[in-house]
Chain A
Amino acid sequence: MAKNENKSGSNLEKVLSRGEFAVTAELGPPKSADLDLIKKKVELLSGWVDAVNITDNQTAIVRVSSIATGKLVLDMGLEPIIQITCRDRNRLSIQSDILGAYLLGIRNVLCLTGDHQCFGNHPAARNVFDLDSVQLIQMVKNMRDEKVFANGEEIKNSKKAEVKEPRMFIGAAANPFADPFEFRVIRLQKKINAGIDFIQTQCIYDMDRFADWTRGVCERGLHKKCKILAGVTPLKSLGMTKYMRDQVAGVSVPDYYVKRMAKAEDAKAEGIEIVTEQIQQLRQIEGVAGVHIMAIEWEQKVSEIVQKAGLKR
Chain B
Amino acid sequence: MIVAERKPIEEITGYLAGHKSVLVLGCGTCVTVCLAGGEREVSILASILRLSNGAKIQENTIERQCDAEFFDVIKEQVASCDAVLSMACGVGVQMAARIFEDKPIYPALNTMFCGTNDGAGQWSENCLACGDCKLGIFGGVCPVTRCSKSLLNGPCGGSVDGKCEVDPENIDCGWQLIYDRLKTLGKLDVLAENSQPRDWSRTHDGGPRKLSREDVAGL
Interface residues of A (CB under 8 A from B): 86-87, 91, 113-116, 118, 127, 129-135, 138-139, 150, 173, 175, 178-180, 183, 186-187, 189-190, 193-194, 202, 249-250
B196 — nearest CB in chain A belongs to which residue? A135
Q: Shortest distance in angstroms between A148's beta carbon and chain B's nearest beta carbon?
A: 14
B157 touching A135 by the CB < 8 A rule? no
Residues of chain A within 8 A (CB-CB) of B150 are 129, 132
Name the contact of A187 in the complex, choosing from B148, B153, B188 (C-beta under 8 A).
Answer: B153
Chain A hits for B12, CB < 8 A:
none
Contacts of B153 in A (CB 8 A): 132-135, 187, 190
- Closest 7 interchain pairs by CB? A175-B157, A134-B153, A249-B165, A132-B151, A250-B157, A178-B157, A249-B158
B172 to chain A, nearest CB (A): 11
Which of A150, A183, A194 interacts with B155 by CB under 8 Å? Answer: A183
A178 touches B158 (CB 8 A): yes
Q: Are B158 and A250 in contact (CB under 8 A)?
A: yes
Quick check: B157 and A249 within 8 Å, CB to CB? yes
A and B contact pairs by CB, cutoff 8 A, 11 listed: A118-B166, A118-B167, A129-B151, A132-B154, A134-B152, A135-B194, A173-B157, A178-B159, A183-B155, A189-B192, A190-B192
User: How far apart sit A132 and B175, CA to CA, in the bound complex (Å)?
Assistant: 13
How far is A189 from B150 in the complex, measured between Cα atoms in Å?
A: 20
When C-beta atoms are compared, the residue in chain A nearest to B200 turns out to be A130
**Are B162 and A116 interface neighbours, CB within 8 A?**
no
Residues of A within 8 A of B157 (CB): 113, 173, 175, 178, 202, 249-250
Minimum CB–CB distance from A229 to chain B (whole Å) comes to 16
Known: A91-B197, A129-B150. A179 touches B192 (CB 8 A): no
What string of 1s and 0s marks CB contacts (under 8 Å) between B181-195 and chain A?
A: 000000010011011
Q: Is there an interface contact between B161 and A179, defined as CB atoms closer than 8 Å?
A: yes
Query: Could you tell me the distance in whole angstroms from the C-beta of A46 to the nearest C-beta in chain B?
Result: 30
B-chain residues with CB within 8 Å of residue A138 when the two chains form the complex: 194
Q: Kindly provide the distance from the CB of A137 to the nearest chain B CB, expressed in whole angstroms.
A: 9
* B179 at interface by CB-CB < 8 Å: yes
**B176–A116 touching, CB < 8 Å:** no
Cα A202 to Cα B157 in complex, Å, equals 9
Given A178-B158, A179-B176, A183-B179, A131 contacting B197 (CB threshold 8 A) = yes
Q: How far is the CB of A252 from chain B (nearest CB, A)?
A: 10
Shortest CB distance B32–A (Å): 31
A138 to B152, CA, bound (A): 13
Whether the pair A116, B151 counts as a contact (CB closer than 8 A) is no
Interface check B49, CB cutoff 8 A: no
In the complex formed, the residue of A with least CB distance to B156 is: A113
Q: Determine whether B160 belongs to the interface, using a CB cutoff of 8 Å to chain A.
A: yes
Q: Which residue of A lies closest to B148 (CB)?
A: A116
Q: B residues touching A (Cβ–Cβ < 8 Å)?
A: 148-162, 165-167, 173, 175-176, 179-180, 188, 191-192, 194-198, 200
Within 8 Å CB of A183, what residues of B? 155, 175, 179, 191
Contacting residues, chain A, for B180 (C-beta < 8 A): 180
Q: With A and B bound together, what is the CA distance between A133 and B192 in angstroms?
A: 15
A111 to chain B, nearest CB (A): 12
B194 touches A190 (CB 8 A): yes
CB distance from A6 to the nearest CB of B (A): 26
Q: Could you tell me if B149 and A179 are in contact, using CB atoms closer than 8 angstroms?
A: no
Q: Are A113 and B151 in contact (CB under 8 A)?
A: yes
Chain A residue nearest to B154 in the complex (CB): A132
Across the interface, A132 reaches (CB within 8 A) one of B152, B161, B173, B188, namely B152
How far, in angstroms, from A187 to B175 measured CA to CA in the complex? 12
A68 to chain B, nearest CB (A): 25
Contact partner of B179 (CB less than 8 A), chosen from A130, A180, A249, is: A180
Whether A113 pairs with B149 at a CB distance below 8 angstroms is yes
Chain A residue at minimal CB-CB distance from B160? A249
Q: Decide if A179 touches B159 in the complex (CB within 8 Å).
A: yes
Q: Which residues of B contact A180 (CB under 8 A)?
A: 155, 159, 175-176, 179-180
> In the complex, A113 Cα to B158 Cα: how many Å?
11
Give complex CA distance A178, B173 in Å: 11
B-chain residues with CB within 8 Å of residue A187 when the two chains form the complex: 153, 155
Q: A116-B148, A130-B200 are in contact. Are A194 and B179 (CB under 8 A)?
A: no
In the bound assembly, the distance between CA atoms of A250 and B159 in angstroms comes to 7
- Whether A116 contacts B196 by the Cβ 8 Å rule is no
Cα A127 to Cα B149 with chains together (Å)? 8
For A134, list chain B residues within 8 Å (CB): 152-153, 194-195
Question: CA A86 – CA B167 in complex, angstroms?
Answer: 20
Contacts of B165 in A (CB 8 A): 116, 249
Q: A29–B55 Cα gap in the complex (Å)?
A: 58
Contact between A132 and B159 (Cβ–Cβ < 8 Å)? no
CB neighbours (8 Å) of B200 from chain A are 130
A134 and B195 CA atoms in complex are apart in Å by 8
| Min C-beta distance of A133 to chain B, whole Å | 7
